[in-house]
Chains A and B, each alone.
Chain A
Amino acid sequence: MTIQFNDETFRDDYTFRNSDWAIRRFPFPFHEDSYMYSVNMERHRGGPEGSVYAKRFDVDEHYISEMRDRALVLAEDPLRCQSLPHMTLAGWDLLELIMVNKSEDYPDLFELDRDGNKWRWINKPLSIDDSFIFMDEASLPYGPMEYITRQTQGDFAVLDQRENNLWMDAGMVTTQADWSLDFDIGMNFFEWHAPVPLAHEMGVFKRALKFLLNVQQGNPARRLNWTMTVNPLLDTSPENYHKWGVQKTTLTPENLGRKQHLRVELQTFYRLPRSNALVFPIRCYLIALEDLVTIPKWGRRLHRVIRDLPVELATYKGFIDNRPLILDYLSQFDDGLPTSPGVWPDLDSEPPLRR
């Protein structure tokens, strides 16, 4: 299908909206009526046609506006994009990975012509047509990682692998769920996960690291993570907490369905060939609760998940104070009927809401 790109904002007047298409393909993260951490990794090998899993780097109706928001964040705070000196090779790996995959998956939007190291990249939605020399930094307006991630939705953590650990040595991070690249740069896997409650005791990170160290070329992996965000803000960074944190106090029963968003990250993991680094694209999808509950199964299930979530997790995810308000809203959409297993909407088989 041809994508109709939205003209919308993720700040100030918040004109961000999901179309019916975007609502139905939203990556709902709960496969059952409860949630606990797990190393919920699976192979990133496509998915149902039209779903966010179908392509390796999903492009949707928010693409152009998200890239505009990223440019605004970078103009205010250039440290959102950093690459330590030994990570330039990984940047070229990432540029190649994205250009090759996007031009293969979306030939009507992106074109890549390669003649040896002479490359030409055409990005039609963003009106870019650049010719450059692969592996020659001087031939691009930015470093290779910054160049390609200014044109690709999602945050990117580029992890060096050494000493049986992963190191946050490069990244482009402007759409994050309250973590900071500038704070984490140079840290290893255990250091940057230190703030997460419960999971350490459960051994989740040891197992996750072991899995990630063994992600191999040709065999990418993926998982979902989630949190809650008031207003469709892409940039919920610690750097700007003074701007967005206060917005959490603006919820009322009347505006909650419109302002409270479920925020889901599709995290994928690729081994980069020349540098042996790992790249960890973190793609953020937002959905207003009033849109989410138009899928009856999701309305029922989200109410049960939020209701039964351990206090530590609701605190860490930043919505413990608003949980009663959120539950009041969501309970209207939970009639107590059972839900079908799995994450899909099942609109044809799940009953409508019984009032």
Chain B
Amino acid sequence: MSTDLDRLHVVVTAKVKLNDLVTRFEFVHAGGKPLPPFSGGAHALVEMRDGDVTRLNPYSLMSDPLDPSHYAISVRRDDAGRGGSVFLHDKVQVGDRLNLGYPVNLFALDLTARKHLMIAGGIGITPFVAQIKQLQSTGGAFELHYAARTQALATYADALRAAHPARVNLYLDDQNQQIPLERLLSGQPPGTHVYVCGPRGMIDWVLTTAHALGWPPEAVHFEEFLAPQPGMPFTVELAQTGKTICVGEHESLLEAMEREGVDAPYLCRGGACGQCETRVLAHDGTFHHHDHWLEEHDRNGRKIMPCVSRFEGTRLVLDR
């Protein structure tokens, strides 16, 4: 489950600028074969070789899950990030070859639900685009509530509204429109599941409101991919491999381990799946946890998620 995971070799067949921030990329199999089908909500890791840095960033697949002819992702440019989205926007062109991981779904539809209530913020729309296509083919009631900053930045809103006028609701910040969350969550038929994908604040808002209204936790689903944050360089001792490595300002602890040839497990690389959880053996300093996997009692020097979290201090020893 780590670096030797098989890759899908693809060719970029389209690069479409959708607005000031978001560009869509489409891929086909480099060998001309069908790509594996996937389930709505799945993501794929995109491998980016940017000079001597290799990044693997997760992006939600937003093409039709039942159509194996191509995949599509939509990438929001983040100029303050570590450069993955900027690399895709500026460097990757039609005709380029890329490697993708196989689709992985950490935000799947619960197919026992009677109704799917979807709440999207900004670029968080992408997994819903695929889920809606899936439900169109297989049947299933859904309702989408989509908040964006402006009409121009409401990526895919026009297409979704044209296809599903009665099911898609748009809320624009610059028009002072807000999702009437409490009313929405109060008025759903039994068996409804709610799904939220968007910025952290929106996810917290939905989780808190659903909890306060008595929603069963298993009917509330969320996904937020965290890009690893840049930070101060730090040094780590790896007890199993006997290596001492330096984590640079613009790389994650996981990437630094991989650079040094340490076989560390991973799956989502976004702080969500739990696969890279690592035990802390000793430390003298402060953790900067950015994941939403670890329990609170593990955050104080017991465990760390190397895909997104960092450390600042004089000594850190990990069981790896």
Could you tell me which A residues sit within 8 Å of B by CB distance? Answer: 86-87, 89, 93, 135, 160-163, 214, 216-219, 273-276
Can you give 30 contacting A-B residue pairs, CB < 8 Å? A86-B112, A89-B138, A135-B137, A160-B112, A162-B111, A162-B112, A162-B218, A163-B218, A214-B1, A214-B273, A216-B1, A217-B36, A217-B104, A218-B5, A218-B36, A219-B5, A219-B6, A273-B37, A273-B38, A273-B103, A274-B37, A274-B38, A274-B39, A274-B66, A274-B134, A275-B39, A276-B39, A276-B42, A276-B105, A276-B108
CA distance A354 to B274 in the complex (A): 53
Q: Using Cβ atoms and an 8 Å threshold, which residues of chain B touch A135?
A: 66, 137
In the complex, how many angstroms separate the beta carbon of B30 from the nearest chain A beta carbon?
16
Chain B, 17-65, CB within 8 A of any chain A CB? 36-39, 42, 65
Is B275 interfacial (CB-CB < 8 Å)?
Answer: yes
- Residues of A near B110 (CB, < 8 A) are 162
Instruction: Tell me which of A86, A162, A275, A276 has the highest count of chain B C-beta atoms within 10 A of its own C-beta.
Output: A276
B36 touches A160 (CB 8 A): no
In the complex with contacts A163-B218, A273-B38, A276-B108, A216-B102 CB distance below 8 A = yes
Knowing A161-B108, A275-B111, A276-B108 touch, does A218 contact B134 (C-beta < 8 A)? Answer: no
Q: In the complex, A161→B104 CA distance in Å?
A: 13
The answer to whether the Cβ of B267 comes within 8 Å of any Cβ in the partner chain is yes
In the complex the two chains form, what is the Cα distance from A161 to B109 in whole Å?
A: 10
Looking at B5, B6, B111, the one whose CB has the most chain A CB atoms below 10 A away is B111
Residue of B1, B65, B275 touching A274 (CB-CB under 8 A): B65
Q: Interface size on B (CB < 8 Å)? A: 25
Q: Specify the main secondary structure of chain B where it touches its partner.
A: loop
Q: Could you tell me the distance between the alpha carbons of A216 and B42 in the complex, rounded to whole angstroms?
A: 11
Cα(A161)–Cα(B65), bound, Å? 18
List chain B residues, Cβ under 8 A from A160. 111-112
Considering the chains assembled together, what is the distance between the CA atoms of A274 and B42 in angstroms?
10
Please measure, in the bound complex, the distance between the C-alpha atom of A218 and the C-alpha atom of B275, giving whole angstroms: 17
Residues of B within 8 A of A93 (CB): 37
Contacts of B65 in A (CB 8 A): 274
With A162-B108, A214-B267, A273-B103 already in contact, 15 other A-B pairs whose C-beta atoms are closer than 8 Å: A86-B112, A135-B137, A163-B218, A214-B1, A214-B275, A216-B5, A217-B38, A217-B103, A218-B6, A273-B39, A274-B38, A274-B65, A274-B66, A276-B42, A276-B108
Interchain CB contact under 8 A, B6 and A86: no
Q: Is the CB of B111 within 8 A of A89?
A: yes
A273 x B36 contact (CB < 8 A) = yes
How distant is the Cα of A186 from the Cα of B38 in the complex, in angstroms?
Answer: 24
- Name the distance in Å between B120's Cβ and chain A's nearest Cβ: 20
Docked-complex contact A219 and B102, CB < 8 angstroms = yes
In Å, the complex CA distance between A218 and B8 comes to: 10
B275: chain A residues within 8 A (beta carbon): 214
Q: How far is the CB of A335 from chain B (nearest CB, A)?
A: 42
Q: Which residues of B contact A214 (CB under 8 A)?
A: 1, 267, 273, 275
Closest A-chain residue to B113, C-beta based?
A: A86
Q: A87 vs B6: C-alpha distance in the bound complex, in angstroms? A: 28
Quote the shortest CB–CB distance from A177 to chain B (angstroms): 29
Distance in angstroms from A274 CB to nearest chain B CB is: 5
Cα distance, A218 to B5, chains bound together (Å): 9
Q: Report the separation of the CA atoms of residues A89 and B36 in the bound assembly, to the nearest whole angstrom.
A: 15
A163 CA / B219 CA spacing, docked (Å): 9
CA distance A351 to B254 in the complex (A): 50
For A216, give the chain B residue with the smallest CB separation: B104
A135 to chain B, nearest CB (A): 7
**Residue on B nearest A275 in the bound complex, by CB:** B39
Closest A residue to B110 using CB positions: A162
Q: From residue B28, how far is it (CB to closest CB) to chain A in Å?
A: 17
How many angstroms from the CA of A216 to the CA of B105 in the assembled complex? 9
A163 nearest CB neighbor, chain B only: B218
The chain B residue sitting closest to A160, CB to CB, is B111
Residues of A within 8 A of B39 (CB): 273-276
Find the B residue at minimum CB distance from A167.
B112
- With A162-B218, A273-B36 in contact, do A218 and B111 touch (Cβ < 8 Å)? no
Give chain B residues whose Cβ lies under 8 Å from the Cβ of A86: 111-112
